[in-house]
Amino acid sequence: MYETNYTEVSEFIFLGLSNSRPMQHFLLVFATVFYGMIVLGNLLVILTVTCDLHLHSPMYFLLANLSFIDMCFSTLTVPNMIFNLFSGHKTISFQGCVVQIFILHILGGSEMLLLTAMALDRYIAICKPLHYLTLMSPRMCILLVSGAWSLGLLHSVIQIAFVVHLPFCGPNKIDSFYCDLPWFIKLACMDTYNLEFIVTANSGFITMGTFFLLIISYIFILLTVWKKSSAGLSKAFSTLSAHIIVVILFFGPCIFVYVWPFPTVPVDKFLAILDFLITPILNPVIYTLRNKDMMSAMRRLSSQLLNMKKSS
Ligand SMILES: *[C@@H]1O[C@H](CO)[C@@H](O)[C@H](O)[C@H]1NC(C)=O
């Protein structure tokens, strides 16, 4: 019976965020505006850091790398979501779904590790300022960045290896606007309890592990500053609070998707909006508008561009 009914699933259908027409129009405008800001803001950060020699330091290199990942991260899901909202066409091919999961996990893993590298950078700068230049050398910086990317890739390859051969025969509706492992695995025609456990263990462990590591290291940095002088604390706190907000907003939804054991409340797809549309815009906003060096670098860059225009 099972054998004869077996039909290959060649595409998946996204149920999206909402069925109501006005809500879809709102989401379309919201996603388009935010995606535009994400691309422009992050390109501006990358351009400013690359062009301005004053910003050639580990902190800004890491920041530019974070901007690059953020931009790719939302480009992976948001344009497709906008297209689906616009056209009413809601399918994704089987291969497309697997590729989306694969890239999603490379970028997500790398972003988490890069945030950890940024915390390490701040730890050395604040707690060991005399050793900063020797510890955070350009080589160290390249090592951290390439380490983040390779571990992200490794994590994603391991995850995909477990699910790529799953049989799919029946339901093909995904209650979200993008593909990710928890929903993908549930659609397979076999008992996937063990697989779900593996995914929760792998993605969940990385998410929770890096999250607690980051929170503990920020608390540690703040305590160190506090012991030295309470005047320094407020300055350090204003820098670090920005990092901490980004970390909580980025990790919160991931923890919900991978670790939250009660899937009856469909909040995870709405929380995913935070990861794809809100945190990617926070980095440029937080780091550029609140950072004097970044602002003056942008002023220099824009006056250079204006001069170039005048002289040409
Ligand atoms: C990422 O970091 C590396 C290593 O410091 C740096 O050479 C590179 O320019 C950075 N990438 C971007 C997009 O800024």
- The string of pLDDT tens digits covering residues 122-148 is 889 888 889 999 999 989 999 999 999
pLDDT digits (tens, 9 = 90+) for 174-233: 888 899 888 888 888 888 888 888 888 888 888 888 999 998 888 888 888 888 777 767
240 lines ligand 1 (CB under 6 A): no
Which atom of ligand 1 sits closest to the CA of residue 141?
5
Residue identifier of the C-alpha nearest atom 1 of ligand 1: 65
Which atom of ligand 1 sits closest to the CA of residue 49?
14
Q: How far is the CA of 88 from the centre of ligand 1 (A)?
A: 39
Which atom of ligand 1 sits closest to the CA of residue 144?
4
> How many Å apart are CA 259 and CA 179, to the nearest integer?
17
DSSP string, 107-157: HHHHHHHHHHHHHHHHHHHHH-GGGHHHHT-HHHHHHHHHHHHHHHHHHHH
pLDDT of residue 105: 94
> How many Å apart are CA 212 and CA 248, to the nearest integer?
10
Q: How far is the CA of 65 from the centre of ligand 1 (A)?
A: 6
Which atom of ligand 1 sits closest to the CA of residue 68?
13
Of 42, 60, 145, the residue with max ligand 1 atoms within 8 A of its CB, to mutate for a pocket test, comes to: 145
**Region of poorest pLDDT, from 3-17, 108-122, 155-169:** 3-17
Percentage of residues of the chain with pLDDT beyond 90: 36
pTM recorded for the entire structure:
0.88
Residue 140 identity: M
Whether residue 294 has pLDDT greater than 90: no
Q: Provide the mean pLDDT of the chain.
A: 86
Which distant-in-sequence residues (6+ apart) come within 8 Å of 230 by Cβ?
Answer: none
Of 65, 69, 142, the residue with max ligand 1 atoms within 8 A of its CB, to mutate for a pocket test, comes to: 65
Q: SS3 for 92?
A: strand
> How many Å apart are CA 36 and CA 33, to the nearest integer?
5
Residue identifier of the C-alpha nearest atom 4 of ligand 1: 142
pLDDT of residue 125: 87
pLDDT of residue 4: 43
pLDDT of residue 234: 74
> How many Å apart are CA 21 and CA 291, to the nearest integer?
41
51 lines ligand 1 (CB under 6 A): no
pLDDT digits (tens, 9 = 90+) for 44-68: 999 999 988 888 889 899 999 999 9
61 lines ligand 1 (CB under 6 A): yes
Radius of gyration for the chain, computed over Cα atoms and rounded to the nearest angstrom = 22
64 lines ligand 1 (CB under 6 A): yes
Residue 32 identity: T
